Amino acid sequence: MIRFLKGLILLPIAIVVVLLAVANRQPVMLSFDPFTDGTPAFSLQLPLYALIFAAVALGVVVGGVGSWLGQGDNRRDRRAKGRELNRLRGETERLRQTVAATTPTVGRTALPAPVSRA
């Protein structure tokens, strides 16, 4: 079912991406020199769709890094709580062993014997 839903969503996206690439394959000049009009010092000539895809990919990477950095406090809290949980589990196990070693199991009842009121 999930596979079908993925296909249902990703297939139209893939078609749009292919159509975008076919429709925008004209080369454009990407210049990183804002001061020179004629021949810029550093420029690239690449298809427009490649420029669009690179910008989208860069946006995804920057957004992922920003999200990862923003969740640092949550990760730190989870690590601290995990350490505390492991410490408490160890303490619980140690206490269970101590109780089991010090109390006899034969003749032990969970509740005291009932007292008759007669």
Is there a domain that residue 93 lies in? yes
3-state secondary structure of 43: strand
Q: What tokens appear for 63 in the block?
A: 């957004």
| Total structural domains within the chain | 1
Is there a domain that residue 44 lies in? yes
List C-alpha distances in Å: 45 to 24, 26, 29.
13, 10, 4
**Cα three-residue angle 94-98-99, rounded to 5 degrees:** 120
Q: Which domain holds residue 44?
A: 20-63+73-100
pTM of structure = 0.61
Q: For 34-76, write each residue's pLDDT tens digit.
A: 887 777 778 888 999 899 899 999 999 999 999 999 999 999 9
Is there a domain that residue 77 lies in? yes
Is there a domain that residue 91 lies in? yes
Closest C-alpha among 45, 44, 48, 53 to residue 24: 48
Is there a domain that residue 2 lies in? no
Is there a domain that residue 85 lies in? yes
User: How far is Cα 26 from Cα 49, in angstroms, rounded to an integer?
Assistant: 8
Is there a domain that residue 11 lies in? no
